[in-house]
Amino acid sequence: MRTINNDFSKGAVWKCILSQAIPLTLAQLVQLLYNVVDRIYIGHLPGASSLALTGIGLVFPIVTFVSAFTNLFGMGGAPLCSIARGAGEHERAERVMSHSFALLTASSVVIMILCYLFREPVLYAFGASDATYVYADDYLKLYLLGTPLAMLGTGMNLFINAQGFARIGMLSTMLGAAVNIVLDPIFIYGFEMGVKGAALATVISQGCTAVWVMGFLHGKKSLLKLRVKHFRLQWSLVREIVSLGTAGFIMSATNCAVQIVCNKMLKLYGGDIYVGVMTVINSVREIVSMPVMGITHGSQPVLGFNYGAKQYKRVRQGILFTSIVGVIYTTAVWLLVMAIPEVFIRLFSDEADMLAYGVGALKIYFFGFFMMSLQFAGQSTFTGLGRSKQAIFFSLFRKAIIVVPLTLLLPRIGGLGVNGVFVAEPISNFIGGLACYVTMMCTLWRELGEKEKEEGR
């Protein structure tokens, strides 16, 4: 009988979660540096920094689109892998991982080709002007070449975390980010490549991450191995992976749709400068959301493992811990953003117009930010325990059903204009976050309590 390593059914649940969440959070923060460092350097380019920053913002929906497919096959497979490990089904865990690898590889090539061929009409459809298209196209042409590297590096790193090697997963992204940080100023300023240099540095850094991840999964320390015999797809397993990954896919896909709609409405009511403001706000949101996302994502292997091992009390303890930490952190962030919004804006641009328009927009967008933690906690619990239907529904509910319609409607009401675009986010956080968490507590939490009582008899 094979001994199960990284057994999350032992020790305090909160310690198990933190053992995964802390390295994962650091890894995700470092991962964020891939794009955020680019934006910081580009936002301070002399002469045309706001136009260049707006151009990069126009590329966001495509980057998010790539992430959607990474989530579909990576986040869809990783929880299944954790559950299989917890149940002692080693071969199934390897099969899930190998299937996800095959799906990520094939889809990344198709996405790269399609996005490259249709990039011009797509960028103009996303809100580009003749002035900003040049910067967006220069960045995107190079960035797309790294699509397979980005998807494999990020998607397969989830399976390192699913095996309990959170520190290795952290090192995977730290390696790529370190390379990106070093190369960015060299290419952008030293070689005077501008946005092209930022894209090239990102592609090289993604390649380093992908090589590291694949090297570990083929190495002796990995508990699970990529096996050629498992690359032949079993459609029943593909359906399981896609079903569970659809929640993450929809979350990214709807983020993509929201970014497109926001850019179009901001361009219509405020011009290019407000598209640049939204680029900064999205960057700030990504930075401050990362710790709470690290906690919730870090809890998924622990929750999934204990659920597979029928340790229902530990699952409930994990949900409660994750929820409390998330609310405390996001409340603190909200207060900080309200107190010193200028500091966050200046990270990306010192231009007077960006500060003038950005401060007020940032305060509106982050109002009641603590409610976002309820969405994260409920969503990750549904996903971690394999409840794909609920996870999918609440992904759609907050973004597609609330944010997109409000973004289209509110700017036209009462002269709100661009403020209507920014106020749609806090409204969705209150309604969507509360609905997701309350539903999770009334259904899954109660079900876990009943199973806990049955196991105790």
pLDDT, tens digit only, all 457 positions of the chain: 334 456 787 888 888 888 888 877 776 676 676 667 778 888 777 766 678 888 888 898 898 899 899 999 998 999 899 888 888 898 999 999 999 999 999 999 999 999 999 999 999 988 888 888 999 999 999 999 999 999 999 999 999 988 888 788 878 878 888 898 899 899 988 888 988 998 999 999 999 999 999 999 998 888 888 888 888 889 999 999 998 888 778 778 888 888 899 989 998 999 888 988 998 898 899 888 888 888 888 888 889 888 888 899 999 999 999 999 999 999 999 999 999 999 999 888 888 888 999 999 999 999 989 999 999 999 889 988 888 778 778 878 888 899 999 999 999 998 899 999 999 999 999 999 999 999 999 999 999 999 888 876 5
Tell me, yes or no, whether 202 lies in a domain: yes
Confidence at residue 49, expressed as pLDDT on a 0 to 100 scale? 63
Closest CA to 411 of 272, 280, 274, 257: 274
Confidence at residue 2, expressed as pLDDT on a 0 to 100 scale? 39
> How far apart are alpha carbons 436 and 369 in whole angstroms?
15
Number of H helices, E strands in the chain: 19, 0
Confidence at residue 3, expressed as pLDDT on a 0 to 100 scale? 40
Tell me, yes or no, whether 5 lies in a domain: no
* Count of structural domains within the chain: 1
Can you read off the two tokens belonging to residue 289?
């959301």
Tell me, yes or no, whether 385 lies in a domain: yes
Tell me, yes or no, whether 358 lies in a domain: yes
Tell me, yes or no, whether 2 lies in a domain: no
DSSP calls for 338-349:
HH-HHHHHHTT-
Place of tokens 């309820």: 374
Does pTM surpass 0.95?
no
Alpha helices by DSSP H, 221-339: 235-269, 272-308, 312-339
Tell me, yes or no, whether 7 lies in a domain: no
Confidence at residue 4, expressed as pLDDT on a 0 to 100 scale? 45
Which of left, alpha, beta for 46 (phi over 0: left; psi -120 to 50: alpha)? Answer: beta
193 is in which domain, residue-wise?
13-456
Q: Are 43 and 264 in contact (CB under 8 A)?
A: no
